Chains A and B, each alone.
Chain A
Amino acid sequence: MEFRDNKAIYLQIADYVCEHILLEKWKAEEKIPSVREMAVELEVNPNTIMRTYDLLQTKNIISNKRGIGFFVAEKAVDQVKDFRKTHFIADELPVLFRNIYLLNISFDELQRKYENFIKENFNA
């Protein structure tokens, strides 16, 4: 995993876990890698992974079964979408809007590009 420069590592790892859940690589009620396994895989301090897992627990995306490990929560996909949507609207959309405004891009053009993108990437 390549870390970006501008965002706290524990949040980037949260995104990584969420991505796995959205893409159903990790399915509801399945066990996810332990703190130590994740730390080794991503070459980061286990305390950082713990912080990520704490955050995801408070968002009801994963749950901790004592003595067994961490599991994807039952409604994790909905929770992830909620969590990511809030974040997207607050942090990423303003940047996008600013560029759309500055570059004078019409909504028609955007819509065409959006539909093409979905076709090419998700076959939908």
Chain B
Amino acid sequence: MIKVNNLHFGYGKNQPLFKNISFQLDAGHIYGLLGKNGAGKSSLLKNLAGLVYAQQGTLDVFGFDPAKRQPAMLEQICFIPEEFYLPAVKIDAYVKANAPFYKKFNHDYFTNLIQEFDIPVSQKLINMSYGQKKKVIIAFALATQAKLIIMDEPTNGLDIPSKAQFRKIMASALTDECCIIISTHQVRDLDNLIDSVIMLDENDIALQASVDEITEKLTFKKVKAVDDSIIYAEPSLSGYYAVMPNYHQEESKLDLELLFNAILTEKTKFKPYFN
């Protein structure tokens, strides 16, 4: 559905953010985009949506070049940025002004989501709390029925019950026709929602793999002591949380936080497992 080939990108001539990165995204999946602050998560998402332009390389977003910003492509993309502005109008006015850009916008679904998220419809958007605004934008994004849904830190600012609602809503929103990319630092919020991981580090994609592929090749477990078979370990109260090659076809649960730290510290050691 989305193909990126040899992408070079940076905000200045001598400050490359991505050097020659390539990857592919398919419909029917929820991708988790991870990386340290400043690794380029938001910039990568902006490249896909045509909000910034590649310096070199090609991007193919369901047959379109995002830099051309053709309406036929834009009506199939919904982008939830981390920082956003909502005008001083009520929800219905906002929908009236923005929904016509999306041919498949589903008004009933939007109303359901707004109810589920418990949003006061009589209040002006600008007077809502950050979390409420965020929920309005998420509801709008899902109601567009766009093929590509991009979410930059969607769970930031959501209270505890809203996070659970968000997970339920995302679980029901994924269809075979759409592709959802979520960039996040709150990996615990999204642990079981993500089925594929993309990790950015040092101007490059440090890892792209499905959760199934990761747990097929690596095991995540608690061990009493660290030995040579362990690639990366972090101390805990009762031993260590360790990542090691999956020698015995164990079926462990992916620990995203541990994997993230492991890849950042031992990048070269993991390379041979994912090619």
Interface, chain A (partner B; CB < 8 A): 3-9, 11-12, 36, 39-48, 51
Q: Are B192 and A48 interface neighbours, CB within 8 A?
A: yes
The A-contacting residues of B in range 14-29, CB under 8 angstroms, are: 28-29
Can you report 23 A-B residue pairs in the complex whose CB atoms are below 8 A from each other?
A3-B253, A5-B222, A6-B221, A6-B222, A9-B192, A9-B253, A12-B253, A36-B171, A39-B172, A39-B174, A40-B171, A40-B172, A42-B192, A43-B164, A43-B192, A44-B192, A45-B30, A45-B171, A45-B192, A46-B171, A46-B174, A47-B174, A48-B195
B70 at the interface (CB under 8 A from A): no
- Known A3-B253, A8-B215; 19 more pairs at CB < 8 Å: A5-B222, A6-B252, A7-B252, A7-B253, A8-B251, A8-B252, A40-B171, A40-B172, A41-B168, A43-B171, A44-B171, A44-B192, A44-B193, A45-B171, A45-B192, A45-B193, A46-B174, A47-B174, A48-B192
B142 at the interface (CB under 8 A from A): no
Q: Are B172 and A6 interface neighbours, CB within 8 A?
A: no
Q: Are B168 and A36 interface neighbours, CB within 8 A?
A: no
Give min CB distance, A35 to chain B, whole Å.
10
Q: A36-B172, A51-B212 are in contact. Are A45 and B253 (CB under 8 A)?
A: no
Give min CB distance, B204 to chain A, whole Å.
26
Q: Are B192 and A47 interface neighbours, CB within 8 A?
A: no
- Which 6 residue pairs across A and B have the least CB separation, nearest first? A43-B167, A39-B171, A44-B192, A8-B251, A45-B195, A40-B168
Interface of A is mostly: helix
- In the complex, chain B residues whose CB is within 8 Å of the CB of A44: 171, 192-193
A36 to B192, CA, bound (A): 14
A101 to B28, CA, bound (A): 50
- In the complex, chain A residues whose CB is within 8 Å of the CB of B171: 36, 39-40, 42-46
Most central of A3, A41, A45 by chain B CB within 10 Å: A45
B78 at the interface (CB under 8 A from A): no
The A-contacting residues of B in range 143-174, CB under 8 angstroms, are: 164, 167-168, 171-172, 174
Contact with A along B171-195 (1 / 0, CB 8 A): 1101000000000000000001111
Q: Are B192 and A11 interface neighbours, CB within 8 A?
A: no
- In the complex, chain B residues whose CB is within 8 Å of the CB of A42: 171, 192
Give min CB distance, B251 to chain A, whole Å.
4
- In the complex, chain B residues whose CB is within 8 Å of the CB of A43: 164, 167-168, 171, 192-193
- In the complex, chain A residues whose CB is within 8 Å of the CB of B215: 8
A51 to B195, CA, bound (A): 12
A5 to B220, CA, bound (A): 9
Q: Are A6 and B253 interface neighbours, CB within 8 A?
A: yes
